[in-house]
Amino acid sequence: WIKNLDPVYYHFFAWQGGYAAYSISQSVVDKTLQYIANQKEHHTKHSFAEEYRAFLKLYNVEYDENFVFRD
């Protein structure tokens, strides 16, 4: 329906294939804010995909590689 609003503007509109949501403990808010502030530098050493997979492994989250970072 959104493409009917303005076919020229919304021609390339598409819903994303997936999403992720996270929550943190109040006790790690400051550490999390520091991590976010340093993300750009951090990701010069580790890609987001590498880090995301490491989090999944660290917290024993089961996932199907066919549905993680597919193009």
Measure CA 62 to chain center. 17
User: What is the 8-class DSSP label of residue 10?
Assistant: T
Amino acid at 28: V
Strand, coil or helix: 2 = helix
DSSP character string of 27-68: GGHHHHHHHHHTHHHHTTTS-HHHHHHHHHHHTT----GGGS
pTM summary value: 0.49
Taking the chain (71 residues) in runs of 10, the rounded mean pLDDT of each run is 77 78 93 92 87 92 84 57
Distance CA 51, CA 69 (A): 12
